[in-house]
Amino acid sequence: MRLTLLAVLLPATIVIGSQLRCPASRRIKPCTCETVNASTGLVLVSCSNIRSWALVKHALRPFRRRKVYQIARLTIERIANRTSDTRTLQRMFRWLTIGELIIRNAPFGAATKIPRSIFKNTTVFALTIDGCGIKEIPANAFTDVQHLQELLLPNNEINHISHKFASAENGLLKIDLSRNNLSSIPQELLRKSSRLEALYLRGNRIVTVDEDDLSNCKSLLILDLSINFIEHIHPDAFSGLSRLDFLSLAFNPLDEGDSEPLRKLTNNCQLKTVDVSGTRVQLKNLISAKLTTLVAQQHDAINQTEICCLAGATKLTHLDLVGSQLNITTIRNCGATFPSVKQLDISRTETNITVIRHFPNVEKIYAYRM
Protein backbone atom coordinates (compact mmCIF):
# COMPACT_ATOMS: atom_id res chain seq x y z
CA MET A 1 0.00 0.00 0.00
CA ARG A 2 2.73 2.33 1.10
CA LEU A 3 4.61 1.58 -2.09
CA THR A 4 1.67 2.51 -4.24
CA LEU A 5 1.35 5.77 -2.36
CA LEU A 6 4.99 6.63 -2.89
CA ALA A 7 4.79 5.64 -6.51
CA VAL A 8 2.06 8.24 -6.84
CA LEU A 9 4.02 10.87 -4.93
CA LEU A 10 7.12 10.48 -7.01
CA PRO A 11 7.04 12.47 -10.23
CA ALA A 12 6.25 10.01 -12.98
CA THR A 13 9.13 10.58 -15.34
CA ILE A 14 8.43 7.99 -17.95
CA VAL A 15 11.62 6.75 -19.51
CA ILE A 16 10.55 7.28 -23.07
CA GLY A 17 10.76 4.30 -25.32
CA SER A 18 12.92 2.29 -23.00
CA GLN A 19 12.77 0.20 -19.94
CA LEU A 20 14.95 1.02 -16.96
CA ARG A 21 15.71 -1.88 -14.70
CA CYS A 22 18.04 -2.24 -11.74
CA PRO A 23 21.76 -1.91 -12.49
CA ALA A 24 23.72 -5.17 -12.65
CA SER A 25 24.17 -6.51 -9.15
CA ARG A 26 27.97 -6.41 -9.29
CA ARG A 27 27.83 -2.64 -9.87
CA ILE A 28 25.84 -2.00 -6.70
CA LYS A 29 27.41 -4.55 -4.39
CA PRO A 30 27.02 -4.92 -1.43
CA CYS A 31 23.57 -3.37 -1.87
CA THR A 32 20.70 -5.08 -3.67
CA CYS A 33 18.02 -3.76 -6.01
CA GLU A 34 14.60 -4.84 -7.16
CA THR A 35 12.73 -3.32 -10.12
CA VAL A 36 9.18 -2.21 -9.31
CA ASN A 37 8.19 -0.58 -12.60
CA ALA A 38 10.63 -0.49 -15.47
CA SER A 39 8.71 2.12 -17.47
CA THR A 40 9.17 4.69 -14.71
CA GLY A 41 12.54 3.44 -13.44
CA LEU A 42 10.98 2.74 -10.03
CA VAL A 43 13.20 0.51 -7.87
CA LEU A 44 13.70 -0.68 -4.30
CA VAL A 45 17.24 -0.60 -2.93
CA SER A 46 18.55 -2.18 0.23
CA CYS A 47 21.98 -1.98 1.86
CA SER A 48 22.48 -3.88 5.09
CA ASN A 49 25.28 -5.30 7.20
CA ILE A 50 27.92 -3.27 5.44
CA ARG A 51 31.40 -2.48 6.66
CA SER A 52 31.39 1.22 5.98
CA TRP A 53 29.51 4.20 4.58
CA ALA A 54 32.15 4.47 1.85
CA LEU A 55 30.90 1.22 0.34
CA VAL A 56 27.32 2.45 0.46
CA LYS A 57 28.28 5.66 -1.30
CA HIS A 58 29.98 3.72 -4.05
CA ALA A 59 27.05 1.35 -4.47
CA LEU A 60 24.63 4.26 -4.91
CA ARG A 61 26.55 5.71 -7.86
CA PRO A 62 24.58 4.05 -10.67
CA PHE A 63 21.36 5.55 -9.25
CA ARG A 64 22.67 9.10 -9.40
CA ARG A 65 21.75 9.63 -13.03
CA ARG A 66 19.55 12.60 -12.42
CA LYS A 67 15.80 12.19 -12.72
CA VAL A 68 16.01 8.75 -14.17
CA TYR A 69 15.91 6.23 -11.38
CA GLN A 70 13.26 6.75 -8.75
CA ILE A 71 13.93 4.82 -5.59
CA ALA A 72 10.63 3.98 -3.97
CA ARG A 73 12.43 2.84 -0.84
CA LEU A 74 16.11 2.96 0.09
CA THR A 75 16.92 1.03 3.26
CA ILE A 76 20.34 1.37 4.87
CA GLU A 77 20.72 -0.79 7.95
CA ARG A 78 23.47 -1.88 10.28
CA ILE A 79 26.48 -0.09 8.91
CA ALA A 80 29.51 -0.86 11.06
CA ASN A 81 30.63 2.13 13.06
CA ARG A 82 34.04 2.48 11.54
CA THR A 83 34.69 6.12 12.06
CA SER A 84 33.51 7.62 8.81
CA ASP A 85 35.21 10.87 8.00
CA THR A 86 32.93 13.74 7.15
CA ARG A 87 34.13 13.75 3.54
CA THR A 88 32.75 10.28 2.93
CA LEU A 89 29.36 11.31 4.26
CA GLN A 90 29.21 14.52 2.25
CA ARG A 91 26.76 14.29 -0.66
CA MET A 92 25.99 10.68 0.23
CA PHE A 93 22.51 11.07 -1.27
CA ARG A 94 23.26 13.60 -3.98
CA TRP A 95 21.04 13.51 -7.05
CA LEU A 96 18.85 10.77 -5.72
CA THR A 97 15.06 10.81 -5.83
CA ILE A 98 13.75 8.69 -3.00
CA GLY A 99 10.24 8.04 -1.74
CA GLU A 100 11.18 6.58 1.61
CA LEU A 101 14.74 6.73 2.94
CA ILE A 102 15.32 4.56 6.01
CA ILE A 103 18.64 4.73 7.84
CA ARG A 104 18.59 2.39 10.81
CA ASN A 105 21.32 1.38 13.24
CA ALA A 106 23.85 3.01 11.01
CA PRO A 107 25.82 5.56 13.05
CA PHE A 108 27.53 8.36 11.19
CA GLY A 109 30.99 7.57 12.54
CA ALA A 110 31.75 9.72 15.56
CA ALA A 111 29.19 12.35 14.56
CA THR A 112 26.26 12.84 16.90
CA LYS A 113 24.69 15.50 14.67
CA ILE A 114 23.00 14.94 11.35
CA PRO A 115 26.14 15.35 9.19
CA ARG A 116 26.40 18.51 7.15
CA SER A 117 25.76 18.22 3.44
CA ILE A 118 24.86 14.54 3.54
CA PHE A 119 21.89 15.69 1.46
CA LYS A 120 22.61 17.83 -1.57
CA ASN A 121 20.14 18.04 -4.38
CA THR A 122 18.29 15.15 -2.83
CA THR A 123 14.57 14.54 -3.07
CA VAL A 124 13.09 12.53 -0.21
CA PHE A 125 9.44 12.34 0.82
CA ALA A 126 9.84 10.34 4.04
CA LEU A 127 13.12 10.31 5.94
CA THR A 128 13.78 7.93 8.83
CA ILE A 129 16.97 8.05 10.89
CA ASP A 130 16.40 5.43 13.56
CA GLY A 131 18.82 4.40 16.29
CA CYS A 132 21.83 6.23 14.88
CA GLY A 133 23.01 7.91 18.09
CA ILE A 134 21.96 11.40 16.97
CA LYS A 135 22.02 13.93 19.82
CA GLU A 136 21.58 17.17 17.98
CA ILE A 137 19.73 18.58 14.98
CA PRO A 138 21.70 21.46 13.45
CA ALA A 139 20.01 24.47 11.88
CA ASN A 140 20.50 23.46 8.26
CA ALA A 141 20.17 19.71 8.64
CA PHE A 142 17.42 19.29 6.07
CA THR A 143 17.50 22.45 4.01
CA ASP A 144 18.90 20.56 1.01
CA VAL A 145 16.21 17.90 1.09
CA GLN A 146 13.43 18.67 -1.32
CA HIS A 147 9.82 17.62 -0.85
CA LEU A 148 10.34 16.36 2.70
CA GLN A 149 6.98 15.47 4.23
CA GLU A 150 7.85 13.01 6.96
CA LEU A 151 10.74 13.38 9.38
CA LEU A 152 11.09 10.34 11.60
CA LEU A 153 13.99 10.29 14.06
CA PRO A 154 13.02 7.72 16.71
CA ASN A 155 15.37 5.92 19.10
CA ASN A 156 18.13 8.50 19.11
CA GLU A 157 19.34 10.69 21.97
CA ILE A 158 18.23 14.04 20.63
CA ASN A 159 18.12 16.74 23.27
CA HIS A 160 19.15 19.73 21.27
CA ILE A 161 17.58 21.28 18.20
CA SER A 162 19.21 24.43 16.92
CA HIS A 163 17.06 27.47 17.70
CA LYS A 164 17.83 28.62 14.17
CA PHE A 165 16.30 25.47 12.74
CA ALA A 166 14.31 26.07 9.57
CA SER A 167 13.88 29.77 9.12
CA ALA A 168 11.42 29.17 6.32
CA GLU A 169 8.07 27.41 6.48
CA ASN A 170 8.45 23.70 5.79
CA GLY A 171 5.94 21.24 4.40
CA LEU A 172 6.30 18.56 7.07
CA LEU A 173 3.20 16.50 7.68
CA LYS A 174 4.64 14.06 10.19
CA ILE A 175 7.37 14.31 12.84
CA ASP A 176 8.40 11.38 15.00
CA LEU A 177 10.85 12.01 17.84
CA SER A 178 9.79 9.05 19.95
CA ARG A 179 12.29 7.70 22.45
CA ASN A 180 14.76 10.54 22.41
CA ASN A 181 16.04 12.76 25.20
CA LEU A 182 13.90 15.89 24.81
CA SER A 183 13.15 17.81 27.99
CA SER A 184 10.54 20.07 26.37
CA ILE A 185 8.25 20.18 23.36
CA PRO A 186 10.60 20.94 20.42
CA GLN A 187 9.27 24.39 19.55
CA GLU A 188 12.20 25.03 17.21
CA LEU A 189 10.91 22.29 14.96
CA LEU A 190 7.25 23.15 15.24
CA ARG A 191 7.41 26.89 14.73
CA LYS A 192 7.56 26.58 10.94
CA SER A 193 5.59 23.37 10.56
CA SER A 194 2.11 24.73 10.22
CA ARG A 195 0.98 21.86 8.00
CA LEU A 196 1.95 19.24 10.56
CA GLU A 197 -0.66 16.52 11.02
CA ALA A 198 1.09 13.99 13.25
CA LEU A 199 3.50 14.56 16.12
CA TYR A 200 4.96 11.65 18.09
CA LEU A 201 6.94 12.50 21.23
CA ARG A 202 6.49 9.26 23.12
CA GLY A 203 9.22 8.30 25.57
CA ASN A 204 11.10 11.54 26.18
CA ARG A 205 11.70 13.57 29.36
CA ILE A 206 9.14 16.31 28.76
CA VAL A 207 7.82 17.84 32.02
CA THR A 208 5.37 20.52 30.96
CA VAL A 209 3.28 21.57 28.01
CA ASP A 210 3.26 25.35 27.89
CA GLU A 211 0.69 27.66 26.42
CA ASP A 212 2.58 28.35 23.17
CA ASP A 213 4.28 25.01 22.65
CA LEU A 214 1.75 23.79 20.12
CA SER A 215 0.21 27.07 19.10
CA ASN A 216 1.48 26.86 15.53
CA CYS A 217 0.28 23.29 15.00
CA LYS A 218 -3.22 24.11 13.88
CA SER A 219 -3.43 21.18 11.46
CA LEU A 220 -2.54 18.54 14.01
CA LEU A 221 -4.63 15.36 13.86
CA ILE A 222 -2.44 13.06 15.98
CA LEU A 223 -0.56 14.00 19.15
CA ASP A 224 1.29 11.37 21.16
CA LEU A 225 2.85 12.61 24.41
CA SER A 226 2.81 9.26 26.20
CA ILE A 227 5.56 8.03 28.55
CA ASN A 228 7.05 11.36 29.52
CA PHE A 229 7.25 13.14 32.88
CA ILE A 230 4.51 15.64 32.16
CA GLU A 231 3.23 17.08 35.43
CA HIS A 232 1.61 20.19 34.12
CA ILE A 233 -0.32 21.19 31.02
CA HIS A 234 -1.23 24.83 30.56
CA PRO A 235 -5.05 25.17 30.45
CA ASP A 236 -4.82 26.65 26.94
CA ALA A 237 -2.03 24.42 25.65
CA PHE A 238 -4.40 22.44 23.44
CA SER A 239 -6.80 25.27 22.66
CA GLY A 240 -5.76 25.80 19.05
CA LEU A 241 -5.88 22.12 18.13
CA SER A 242 -9.32 22.16 16.64
CA ARG A 243 -8.69 19.29 14.22
CA LEU A 244 -7.15 16.89 16.75
CA ASP A 245 -8.48 13.38 16.35
CA PHE A 246 -6.08 11.29 18.48
CA LEU A 247 -4.47 12.26 21.78
CA SER A 248 -2.34 10.14 24.06
CA LEU A 249 -1.20 11.38 27.46
CA ALA A 250 -0.68 7.88 28.78
CA PHE A 251 1.82 7.23 31.55
CA ASN A 252 2.54 10.76 32.67
CA PRO A 253 2.27 11.88 36.29
CA LEU A 254 -0.89 13.90 35.59
CA ASP A 255 -3.62 14.12 38.18
CA GLU A 256 -7.20 15.34 38.55
CA GLY A 257 -6.04 18.94 38.51
CA ASP A 258 -4.73 18.62 34.96
CA SER A 259 -8.11 18.06 33.44
CA GLU A 260 -8.85 21.64 32.43
CA PRO A 261 -6.89 21.61 29.14
CA LEU A 262 -8.73 18.42 28.22
CA ARG A 263 -12.10 19.93 28.97
CA LYS A 264 -11.31 22.84 26.67
CA LEU A 265 -10.09 20.45 24.03
CA THR A 266 -13.12 18.19 24.02
CA ASN A 267 -15.45 21.15 23.97
CA ASN A 268 -14.39 22.32 20.57
CA CYS A 269 -12.70 19.62 18.61
CA GLN A 270 -13.00 16.43 16.66
CA LEU A 271 -11.27 14.25 19.22
CA LYS A 272 -12.18 10.61 18.62
CA THR A 273 -9.50 8.62 20.45
CA VAL A 274 -8.03 9.44 23.85
CA ASP A 275 -5.53 7.48 25.89
CA VAL A 276 -5.15 8.51 29.54
CA SER A 277 -3.74 5.22 30.81
CA GLY A 278 -1.59 5.43 33.93
CA THR A 279 -2.74 8.96 34.79
CA ARG A 280 -5.34 10.28 37.21
CA VAL A 281 -7.00 12.79 34.89
CA GLN A 282 -10.77 12.93 35.17
CA LEU A 283 -12.60 10.99 32.52
CA LYS A 284 -15.65 13.20 32.70
CA ASN A 285 -13.69 15.97 31.02
CA LEU A 286 -12.99 13.76 28.04
CA ILE A 287 -16.54 12.92 27.28
CA SER A 288 -17.69 14.46 24.08
CA ALA A 289 -20.23 13.57 21.49
CA LYS A 290 -17.49 12.55 19.03
CA LEU A 291 -15.41 10.27 21.27
CA THR A 292 -15.26 6.72 19.87
CA THR A 293 -12.32 5.17 21.73
CA LEU A 294 -11.32 5.68 25.34
CA VAL A 295 -8.27 3.94 26.75
CA ALA A 296 -7.81 4.26 30.50
CA GLN A 297 -5.62 1.33 31.50
CA GLN A 298 -4.13 1.32 34.99
CA HIS A 299 -6.10 4.43 35.79
CA ASP A 300 -6.20 4.90 39.55
CA ALA A 301 -8.94 7.44 39.85
CA ILE A 302 -11.98 6.00 38.15
CA ASN A 303 -14.98 6.33 40.46
CA GLN A 304 -18.66 5.86 40.06
CA THR A 305 -19.36 9.42 38.96
CA GLU A 306 -16.76 9.00 36.26
CA ILE A 307 -18.17 5.73 34.94
CA CYS A 308 -21.70 7.11 34.93
CA CYS A 309 -20.49 10.07 32.88
CA LEU A 310 -19.38 7.73 30.12
CA ALA A 311 -23.03 7.19 29.31
CA GLY A 312 -22.86 10.68 27.79
CA ALA A 313 -20.37 9.55 25.16
CA THR A 314 -22.97 8.35 22.74
CA LYS A 315 -20.49 7.39 19.99
CA LEU A 316 -18.14 5.49 22.29
CA THR A 317 -17.54 2.07 20.70
CA HIS A 318 -14.20 1.00 22.23
CA LEU A 319 -13.64 1.14 25.97
CA ASP A 320 -10.40 -0.21 27.41
CA LEU A 321 -10.10 -0.20 31.20
CA VAL A 322 -7.43 -2.89 31.67
CA GLY A 323 -5.98 -2.92 35.16
CA SER A 324 -7.90 0.14 36.28
CA GLN A 325 -9.38 0.76 39.71
CA LEU A 326 -12.84 -0.39 38.86
CA ASN A 327 -15.16 -2.87 40.54
CA ILE A 328 -18.45 -4.46 39.80
CA THR A 329 -20.37 -2.29 42.29
CA THR A 330 -19.14 0.86 40.60
CA ILE A 331 -20.71 -0.16 37.32
CA ARG A 332 -23.82 -1.73 38.78
CA ASN A 333 -24.67 1.21 41.06
CA CYS A 334 -24.36 3.57 38.18
CA GLY A 335 -27.57 2.15 36.79
CA ALA A 336 -26.89 3.43 33.29
CA THR A 337 -26.28 1.24 30.28
CA PHE A 338 -23.72 1.90 27.57
CA PRO A 339 -25.47 0.89 24.36
CA SER A 340 -22.84 2.29 21.98
CA VAL A 341 -19.96 0.15 23.31
CA LYS A 342 -19.04 -2.68 20.92
CA GLN A 343 -15.67 -3.65 22.34
CA LEU A 344 -14.89 -3.71 26.04
CA ASP A 345 -11.73 -4.70 27.90
CA ILE A 346 -12.06 -5.10 31.67
CA SER A 347 -9.12 -7.47 32.14
CA ARG A 348 -7.32 -7.21 35.45
CA THR A 349 -10.07 -5.23 37.16
CA GLU A 350 -12.30 -6.15 40.09
CA THR A 351 -15.16 -6.88 37.72
CA ASN A 352 -16.32 -9.93 35.87
CA ILE A 353 -18.41 -10.95 32.93
CA THR A 354 -21.67 -10.11 34.71
CA VAL A 355 -21.17 -6.44 33.81
CA ILE A 356 -22.23 -7.42 30.31
CA ARG A 357 -25.82 -6.55 31.07
CA HIS A 358 -24.80 -2.90 31.20
CA PHE A 359 -23.34 -3.17 27.70
CA PRO A 360 -26.28 -4.54 25.71
CA ASN A 361 -24.65 -4.23 22.27
CA VAL A 362 -21.13 -5.37 23.07
CA GLU A 363 -19.62 -7.66 20.42
CA LYS A 364 -16.26 -8.39 22.00
CA ILE A 365 -15.47 -8.45 25.69
CA TYR A 366 -12.08 -9.22 27.21
CA ALA A 367 -11.95 -10.10 30.89
CA TYR A 368 -8.67 -11.85 31.59
CA ARG A 369 -7.76 -12.22 35.22
CA MET A 370 -4.00 -11.96 34.79
Q: Give the residues lining the site for ligand NAG (CB under 6 A).
A: 12, 14, 37, 39-40, 81, 83, 107, 109-110, 120-121, 133, 144, 157, 159, 181, 183, 282, 284, 303, 305-306, 327-330, 350, 352-354
- Pick between residue 97 and residue 196 the one whose CB is nearest to ligand NAG: 97
Return all residues near 108 (Cβ < 8 A) that are at least 6 apart: 53, 84, 89, 114, 115, 118, 132, 133, 134
Kindly state the smallest distance separating residue 83's Cβ from ligand NAG, in Å.
5
Nearer to ligand NAG, 25 or 333 (CB): 333
- The burial of 42, by beta-carbon neighbours within 10 Å (0-12 exposed, 13-18 middle, 19 or more buried), is given as buried
Q: How far apart are CA 89 and CA 327, in angstroms?
A: 59
Task: Find all residues with CB under 8 Å of 210, minimum gap 6, and list them.
Answer: 184, 185, 234, 237
Pairs from 311-316 (Cβ < 8 Å, separation ≥ 24): 311/336, 311/337, 311/338, 312/287, 313/287, 313/288, 313/289, 313/340, 314/289, 314/340, 315/289, 315/290, 315/291, 315/340, 316/291, 316/292, 316/340, 316/341
Q: Shortest approach of ligand NAG to residue 85 CB, angstroms?
A: 11
Instruction: Centre a 10 Å sphere on the Cβ of residue 354 and count the other Cβ atoms it contains.
Output: 11
> Minimum distance from CB of 14 to ligand NAG (Å)?
6
- Taking the complex as a whole, the smallest distance from the CB of residue 66 to ligand NAG amounts, in Å, to 7
Q: Considering beta carbons, is residue 37 or 273 the nearer one to ligand NAG? A: 37
Minimum gap (Å) between residue 218 Cβ and ligand NAG: 30
Give whichever of 196 and 334 is closer to ligand NAG, judged by the CB atom. 334
φ/ψ region of 91 (left if φ > 0, alpha if ψ in -120 to 50, else beta) reads left
Tell me the closest approach of the beta carbon of residue 171 to ligand NAG, in angstroms.
16
Q: Which is nearer to ligand NAG, 120 or 290 (CB)?
A: 120
Q: What is the CA radius of gyration of the chain?
A: 24
**Closer CB to ligand NAG, residue 46 or residue 52?**
52
- Measured from the CB atom, the residue of 141 and 217 that comes closer to ligand NAG is 141
Smallest distance, ligand NAG to C-beta of residue 275, A: 18
For ligand NAG, which is the closer residue by CB, 36 or 172?
A: 36
In whole angstroms, how close is the CB of 328 to ligand NAG at the nearest point? 5
Instruction: Return the number of the residue (220 or 227) whose C-beta is nearest ligand NAG.
Output: 227
Spatial contact of 152 and 128, defined as CB atoms under 8 Å apart: yes
> Pick from 223, 236, 300, 227: which is nearest to 265 by CA?
236
Tell me the residue number closest to ligand NAG, measured at CB.
133
| Nearest distance in Å: CB 208, ligand NAG | 15
